[in-house]
Amino acid sequence: MAVLAENHYGKSRVRLVKVVRTPDHHDVYEWTVGLYLTGDFDACYLAGDNTGVMATDTMKNTVYAVARTSTATTPEDFAVELARNIAARKPTLTQVRITVEEKMWQRLKVEGGKHPSAFLQRGPDVITAAAVLTPGAQPVMTSGIKGLVILKTADSGFLGFERDALTTLPETEDRLLGTEATIDWLYTALPADPAAVREAVMQTLLGTFAAHHSLSVQHTLYAMAEAALAAHPELVELNLTMPNRHNIPADLARLGLDNPNTIFIPTDEPHGHIHARVTR
């Protein structure tokens, strides 16, 4: 006998660009939003009864309607505002989860300062945020970054690992360490200024990455999380995924040339997958 053990549904990848126009300049926000609802929807699955089911088309339109009047300038604040809007309209829900990814637009630098209405998109990294709202509780908020490409060309090695008949990787005390990191962190409470906290956390993470004498990607990953928890008491935990994007020294000997660790072949497939959740 089949049993419906768990379910949720929603709308994914609702894309939105919002222009905020002030007398002296414009700001651009580009968000990709996901809305996911949990509640008593068993009848929809078991009997095809759609009573009480909010159409995902309605969810999509809710994103645009809330954005029209919202004053939120961070994905965190918009996620909470949207979650509260949905929860107020459907009090029978047991959980509303909102995710927001932000592509970052910056005003172009021109002679005399920043152009008021011309923009450059930063990337490939995007800001991430998620708000989970349950009845009678404050929102649970996470923030983070996805697609963060970082590289260090010194203070990185990989020695002493297990070897067997199938191991061909040489040990090294001097390698390039590159990754395309996905990092998020859980707050003790919704921060008053998510953008300021995010900037401070990122400075800690990147500063640690740069300064750490790495004996492995795992070693540096943990050092970054440890430093962030020590410096930012408002954080409960961090999730870090840091694939090892290899840069393989090119064999120039067959060309009659040496390679004093200067010429590399970048590869991103296959790559090492390194992940950890670090808590207090």
Q: Which residues are catalytic?
A: 11, 56, 246
Pairing of strands 126-133, 113-121: unpaired
Integer Cα distance of 256 and 131 in angstroms? 58
Integer Cα distance of 278 and 280 in angstroms? 7
Integer Cα distance of 80 and 83 in angstroms? 5
| β-bridge mates for residue 20, sequence order | 27
Per-residue tokens: 24: 């002296």
Integer Cα distance of 227 and 143 in angstroms? 17
Pick the closest to residue 84 from 10, 12, 138 (CA basis): 138
H-helix segments, the chain: 42-47, 56-69, 75-89, 194-211, 217-231
CA-to-CA dists, residue 116 to 28, 132, 215, angstroms: 11, 36, 46
Per-residue tokens: 31: 């968000």
Integer Cα distance of 148 and 151 in angstroms? 10
Per-residue tokens: 199: 């900037």
Integer Cα distance of 77 and 127 in angstroms? 13
Number of C-beta neighbours around residue 63 at 10 A: 23
